[in-house]
Amino acid sequence: MKSIVCGIDLGTTNSVIAFLKDGYPRAIPVEEGTAIVPSVVSFDPGDGSRWVGRRARNRRAAFPQHTVTSIKRLMGKDTMTVAGRSSFSPEELSSFILKYLAERASEHLGAPIDQVVITVPAYFDDAQRRATIQAGELAGLDVVRIVNEPTAAALVYDHVPSDSETDSPYVLVYDLGGGTFDVSVIEIKGEIKEVLASSGDTSLGGDDFDERLRRHLLEELKRQADLPDLKPDLGLNVRLLDIAERAKIALSDRPYVEIHEVALGMVDGRPLNLDLELSRTEFESLTEDLVARTMGIVKEVLKEAHLETSEIGKLILVGGATRMPAVHQALSELFEQTVAHSVDPDLCVALGAAIQGGLITGESVGQILLDVTAHSLGIKTLDTVDPETGEPDCFSTIIRRNTRIPVSRAEVFWTVADGQEKINVEVFQGESPSCSENTPIGDFLYPLESAPASSPVTVEFAYDREGLVRICVDQKGYDNRKEVTLDIRQRKVEEIGQAEAVETPVNYIAEKARRLALDERLPEGVRREIMRVVQVYEEAIRAGEDEARMDELEDELLEILDQAEEELEAVE
């Protein structure tokens, strides 16, 4: 049976094993359907048997003296770690993780694995690299290559088609994992990738963001329960941390998250409940210093590499915590360019190691064709106006170009006038900040409940592989929600949940208008205008608006219908 060369990202917190199949890298789901394996080893206090991965992590609090975490920090050091009744070198403990990964991957693939490429941080010295090779050998593996982690990430993006053109050979890899942060600048010279500078913070990662949010939730709980001196017990802390992590993840895709949790604890026979809405803005203000710390390190690395921000040709994100929009925003602002993020940041390094393995054995590596959005999608907003027409012209992006699909993203916008009656949601695709230079995709009217100016309205886009975008507009604080689907290829908007209303016009005039809107002899612009006006008219009837308003809308509709009929007569 043919042996497989696997790539292994041997991480401080988690590890991943991947392989190249038919020219494409693939992470192997070795534990409970997931490819991400905790880098933890635990020994049974009774018989000394060994556990690795999730099961070892789950035992850590039960057997702290028998469990080892973050062994990567000790690689290359002449030290022994006591675990249970034995002591182990860092190489031995790492070998247990490598052996576990290789065995589980071998079971999954049904083929032996004896050759591997292992990644290491760019700052690893010779001793640390030798220790990593030795760990592989102790695991019974032939380590065919040691690759720098940022180099592996860059290797993946070598095989991802990109439409951004740059002559710069410099790539910046920003790696924010669960507990560590690394940043490297790489120079690409043909097939050779040289790390010019690398730095990081071994005590900064996504967990710090969770902890900030946990503390905030605790303060909020104290306020809501009117218990300023509440001391959290273990159970409360466990739940708050879990809520914080889930909220953080949700806020990567939407501007608000609602938290409704019951019975977080009991005080004097009363349950402690937590009920709040948390905005991304609040979360970002709680954690902005953490993002700023990473940016400070980025600047240091650039200085060390003797490069200006403008000389960096590509930005690559690695590590699950880079899903936070604040990270994208900070990098985009510093470098004035978008970041490459279409490959799963948790798996990117292992996938790169698998590609390196394939290249060593002479396998051809194909272009990694990812399902991504070809263009940015967004709506027209009032932030800027077209200088020639005086019309609003700002393109507010909701889903950025090259985002993996399916994807769902939401952003919040604000009304501009007191008692504003409606919003014309105009959807565009393109990369210009100006709508007039982008492509219009469709539009629809969203009637508003009466509210003061600057009332928030969320607009959510959910984009699937078939080119359909489900758009949901929601006026916060009101029971006013509208959903439409937008077919990007056909540039067609359809309402959801109002099919019956669409099929059953409210009266004869509306029926006639809808019939004319479908008449292909009429120009597209006229048909769209008829549909727009009839929708407003029908919504007004259903909402029971006053007579004067109804008369005004009916007159507007009749006028358009007259014009349309005249055009049809001209055609005939």
Residues near other proteins (CB under 8 A): 21-26, 29, 32-33, 42, 44-46, 51, 54-63, 234-235, 238-239, 242, 261-264, 266, 269, 271, 368-371
Q: Least separation, in Å, of the C-beta of 27 and other proteins?
A: 9
| Residue (14 or 294) nearer to other proteins, CB | 14
Contact 183/174 with Cβ under 8 angstroms? yes
What is the nearest approach in angstroms of other proteins to the Cβ of residue 127?
A: 34
Q: Measured from the CB of residue 63, what is the shortest distance to other proteins in angstroms?
A: 7
Give the DSSP letter of residue 53. Answer: T
453 CA to centre of own chain = 31
Which residue's CB is nearer to other proteins, number 353 or number 457?
353
Say if residues 206 and 177 touch (Cβ distance below 8 Å). yes
CA distance 33 to 37: 11
Cα distances (angstroms) measured from residue 88 to each of 63, 75, 171, 334 = 17, 12, 38, 44
Reported as type and span, the H/E element at residue 200 is strand 192-201
Whichever of 183 and 368 has its CB closer to other proteins, that residue is: 368
CB of 499 to other proteins, least distance (A): 24
Of 21 and 215, the one with the shorter C-beta distance to other proteins is: 21
Q: Is 478 helix (H, G, I), strand (E, B) or coil?
A: coil
User: Judged by CB, which is closer to other proteins: 63, or 123?
Assistant: 63
Q: Where are the alpha helices (DSSP H) in 113-233?
A: 126-138, 149-158, 206-225
Contacting residues for 371 by C-beta, under 8 A, at least 6 apart: 404, 405, 465
Q: Which is nearer to other proteins, 301 or 365 (CB)?
A: 365
Give the shortest CB-274-to-other proteins separation in angstroms: 11
Nearest-approach distance from CB 437 to other proteins, in angstroms: 31
Question: Residue 274 or 531: which CB sits closer to other proteins?
Answer: 274
Query: Which is nearer to other proteins, 23 or 433 (by Cβ)?
Result: 23
State the Cα–Cα distance between residues 16 and 202, nearest whole angstrom. 20
Do 164 and 157 meet the contact criterion of CB atoms below 8 Å apart?
A: no
What is the 3-state composition of the chain as percent helix, strand, coil, each rounded to the nearest 5? Answer: 35, 30, 30
Q: Which is nearer to other proteins, 13 or 475 (CB)?
A: 13
329: left (phi over 0), alpha (psi -120 to 50) or beta: alpha
Q: Burial code of 548-565, b = ≥16 C-beta within 10 A, e = fewer?
A: eeeeebbeebeebbeebe
Q: With respect to other proteins, which residue has the nearer C-beta, 84 or 505?
A: 84
User: What is the smallest separation between the CB atom of 381 and other proteins, expressed in angstroms?
Assistant: 31
CA atoms within 13 A on the CB side of 327: 30
* Longest CA–CA separation in the chain, Å: 95
CB-wise, 373 or 475, nearer to other proteins? 373
Q: Which is nearer to other proteins, 383 or 466 (CB)?
A: 466
Q: What span, in angstroms and rounded, lies between the C-alpha atoms of 192 and 535?
A: 60
Query: Alpha-carbon distance 461 to 474, whole Å?
Result: 12
CB of 361 to other proteins, least distance (A): 18
**DSSP string of 394-411?**
EEEEEE-TT-BSSEEEEE
Residues facing 186 on adjacent strands = 171, 195
- 248-to-209, 237, 291, 363, 549 alpha-carbon distances in Å: 8, 16, 14, 40, 45
What's the min distance (Å) between Cβ of 204 and other proteins?
Answer: 24
Q: How far is the CB of 523 from other proteins (least distance, A)?
A: 39
Q: Is 104 left (phi over 0), alpha (psi -120 to 50) or beta?
A: alpha
Minimum Å gap between C-beta 301 and other proteins is 31
Residue 40: CB minimum distance to other proteins, A: 11
Nearer to other proteins, 366 or 497 (CB): 366
For 138, counting Cβ atoms within 10 Å of its Cβ (0-12 exposed, 13-18 middle, 19+ buried), the class is middle
Q: Are the beta carbons of 9 and 320 closer than 8 angstroms?
A: no
Shortest Cβ 230–other proteins spacing (Å): 16
Give the up-direction half-sphere exposure of residue 151: CA atoms within 13 A in the CB hemisphere: 24
Tokens representing 203?
């005590």
What residue type is assigned to position 203 of the chain? Answer: S
